[in-house]
Structure 1
């Protein structure tokens, strides 16, 4: 149910990855993650608390719970960076603080979690009014609801959720369409203390909403929830379990649980989830993957941040857990029958950016940043096992090579050394693109401009991944500038063109 493509790791889907366990992380009033060795074991000695949270969110949407005083202020730059690096829901917000939620969404959060209004208030209309007041679209909203134990109230709640949900699902988590978005994108339903018969009835009734992609459903406080049960909920319903998670097996740990965040009274059911034993993340992810292989391994596509496929490997439950724990590319070596932590011997190691499950639930995609001198995934010392890249990826590779060591007479080297020439060529090529009319002429002028633009980027140490990251951040902005032309910039460009004249040396083609 997902038309997953290999995409930039900073492309954060508004919908879910297909994984089922969604980690829950609490924060203090000053914005620090409430974690300890019960969650990260020995990994805390080599990673910051923010990095541990990033790793917890590598394979599924993550819920970041802050106390009211922290949510009332804009996020710090450290927290904003974490928002951008994870697919996250932030909250819980009260409905009268929707303006605060807007600030956090603008900073990079995918969703804002709102506390449902008290019983007796019209749920659907109250949510519509709160969102409309500050201009938050439904696909950015989540609702926290406490499951009732009275069958009559269960029926009332299900009727309200059916109204909140989209009229019909898109059938794809990544293709957000107007008809596929309801009043809210999803609901967090806490079931702590709910009798098992009511719990089972709710799961059976919520399942079709999630399976039809009408509503994302996250369930916390399930009785007797195990790794196996998490996998079972994934098929066929795509129901998500919400709970605290750990990077290690904590069953024999003597370390106490981290303290819960100080949440408002309306979110007491959410606070209760922090008192439960954390789920070990790696096995929970593996439980959601199908395999028909006799060795139980999972085919894994490895892709770079800019979308270039690097190679095909295999993962196991153990390797997935190891990759999440250390935040690196770790796979299963079939020849050695052992964990393969990429780069330990070659030096070509990988930073893990994302783990995704495909639409059939039988293959993984690891998005990584490839390191090394040269950065090579293939054993033949090339970046990819499928030969050289093309298009923009090839241009970026050549420009980086020219910056490091250019042959005599290289025009690209001249541009790197002469910032004024590079600036003038950017202005000239932008004008020529603006004036082109025929399709092939437009494409040709665009290629010239992109060559000079990428030269400027590589000169500054910027690549396609960083450019994509900024493009994606703008997708999540709720407030946008008018986008009018700047007269002073136009005048400056005209002055450059008049001073240098048309036809000055240097087109991009063949000049590298």
Structure 2
């Protein structure tokens, strides 16, 4: 697969947000760090050798890291999988901040035993699968590449989330011109060997049959990527066949659209190869027409329909950022919603484990937002997932029928707050599976009313849960006495209010109850 590379050298990195988001549709993005940026976040010593902020005031330095590097990572790496490097493994505090804020993986250069030791130490402090090593062979020979990887040692290799072989400056390091064979050549267990043997690489090159085999064997079980090589879309497809990922500059949508008709173009107007074309070249099909089965799903993972994609339609979809498929009946591109208005925004697209099926995750538009020509959300009928609750609540917020309880909740924040507290308490007191499920349903309903009232969605909730799964710093998770006390006071006030209302409605009964409570022998 292609890992699009973008350079982060500006002291105003926010400008890269849209580029990273756009290039991350097809998979991880490699964000190339620079010494200037490390200085910008206050971690590396500034020019002239003055002491770093951390040496002067560790607490202030930690706060500065969270404010700068943490803020950047949260804004850029939550919606996109980012691999950030070359990263100095010695900067462990910065590493923790970056990973905690959502960076998928940090790639650290390892050229010396000291750097290998620093990476091993860092792997003891953060999840090791969130780290990768960048090795730099002396040349592009198979022996040099395998030796550079093997020098990491089996223990460290087994802990890492990946290894990147940087061949920048190595003569003959090119993937351009290497093209995958027909899909049939990769159908069996001999796929890797068949692809490698088709490579017009010189004997002894890292991209020869022996070179690929030796490199993968040395890196086992870690995934391997190469960078610093000349590549085109067919070359990325070839590398995918032999289980190598490629880090290279990629064209943005403007450049991808301009070069969509030429899959062999090594560079587009915006300085890189087309991510969509690379994805297409990595796919394979056993169909005579070469089309790839494509599942279309919404952001909650609900399947909307099954379609087919061609290399042209995949490239067009990524270049245009929308759902574009191949119409078998018309024999051409099918831009979903072009005539019906049911347009789809492309959120991400992924190949499956065998590279013979695609998953397009889309944001479906329309009134109602339907994928099927029968105006149902899915081609299998109405969507009955939890997402349907959200859409009903949103419709009630916009226009509710007379007597709608949901509308009443929207218009009475105090009632909604009371119901949230009540249902959460009732859930905490359940003992059987069915009762727990019923009370959970109540909690979800009232929680979603609160979320929709504030403009939040289930997709937002899902994203927050995903981001939290990447945190490396954990709070104790203890209960908050002040919140428990506030809830107790709320229920006490509610009980007092109910008692007062009952007294006002029936003073005689209230007086009798008070007298009975005060009688001798009564608690």
Q: State TM-score, norm by structure 1.
A: 0.77
Q: Does 1:22 align with 2:13?
A: no
Q: Does 1:205 align with 2:227?
A: no
CA shift for structure 1 position 231: 1.9
SS in 1 for 2:151: helix
Shift of the 378–154 alpha-carbon distance from structure 1 to 2, 3 Å rule, reads closer
Picking from 163, 169, 178, the partner of 1:187 is 163
SS in 2 for 1:372: coil
| Alignment root-mean-square deviation, CA | 2.9
Q: Does 1:216 align with 2:223?
A: yes
CA distance in 1, matches of 2:268, 2:319: 20
Q: Which moved more, 1:365-374 or 1:146-155?
A: 146-155
Picking from 426, 430, 440, the partner of 2:434 is 440
**Contact 2:89 2:115 survives alignment (8 Å):** no
> Residue 180 of structure 2 aligns with which residue?
none
CA distance in 1, matches of 2:476, 2:75: 26
CA shift for structure 1 position 316: 1.3
Q: Which moved more, 1:285-294 or 1:151-160?
A: 151-160
CA distance in 2, matches of 1:474, 1:347: 36
> Residue 125 of structure 1 aligns with which residue?
117
Q: Does 1:140 align with 2:159?
A: no
> Residue 242 of structure 1 aligns with which residue?
247
Shift of the 481–500 alpha-carbon distance from structure 1 to 2, 3 Å rule, reads same
> Residue 154 of structure 2 aligns with which residue?
163
**Contact 2:73 2:103 survives alignment (8 Å):** no
**Contact 1:249 1:280 survives alignment (8 Å):** no
Describe the superposition over 1:438-461 as per-residue Cα deviations: whole angstroms up to 9, x where unpaired: 221111111111111111112112
> Residue 338 of structure 1 aligns with which residue?
332
Shift of the 491–293 alpha-carbon distance from structure 1 to 2, 3 Å rule, reads same
Shift of the 349–78 alpha-carbon distance from structure 1 to 2, 3 Å rule, reads farther
Describe the superposition over 1:16-45 as per-residue Cα deviations: whole angstroms up to 9, x where unpaired: xxxx11111112322448xxxxxxxxxxxx
Higher Rg of the two aligned structures? 2
Shift of the 242–254 alpha-carbon distance from structure 1 to 2, 3 Å rule, reads closer
**Contact 2:90 2:122 survives alignment (8 Å):** yes
**Contact 1:342 1:348 survives alignment (8 Å):** yes
SS in 1 for 2:431: coil
> Residue 323 of structure 2 aligns with which residue?
329
Unmatched 5+ stretches in structure 1: 1-19, 34-47, 167-181, 259-276, 505-512
Question: Within 5 A, what are the aligned runs for 1:73-472?
Answer: 73=41, 74-75=68-69, 77=71, 80-118=74-112, 121=113, 124-132=116-124, 135-149=125-139, 156-161=147-152, 163-164=154-155, 182-192=158-168, 193-194=170-171, 196=202, 197-199=204-206, 200=208, 201-208=210-217, 214-222=221-229, 225-235=231-241, 237-246=242-251, 247-248=256-257, 278-472=272-466
> Residue 483 of structure 2 aligns with which residue?
489
Describe the superposition over 1:225-277 as per-residue Cα deviations: whole angstroms up to 9, x where unpaired: 44333222222x4211111112245589999987xxxxxxxxxxxxxxxxxx7
CA distance in 2, matches of 1:451, 1:109: 33
> Residue 179 of structure 1 aligns with which residue?
none
Q: Which moved more, 1:329-338 or 1:103-112?
A: 329-338
**Contact 2:143 2:211 survives alignment (8 Å):** no
* Structure with higher RCO (Cα < 8 A, 6+ apart): 1
CA distance in 1, matches of 2:132, 2:250: 20
Unmatched 5+ stretches in structure 2: 42-67, 173-201, 499-523
**Contact 1:24 1:65 survives alignment (8 Å):** yes
SS in 1 for 2:338: coil
SS in 2 for 1:421: helix
> Residue 505 of structure 2 aligns with which residue?
none
CA shift for structure 1 position 61: 1.6
CA distance in 2, matches of 1:254, 1:358: 26
Q: State TM-score, norm by structure 2.
A: 0.75
CA distance in 2, matches of 1:22, 1:103: 23
CA shift for structure 1 position 151: 7.4
Describe the superposition over 1:166-189 as per-residue Cα deviations: whole angstroms up to 9, x where unpaired: 6xxxxxxxxxxxxxxx33211110
Q: Comparing both structures, which one devotes a greater share of its residues to helix? A: 2
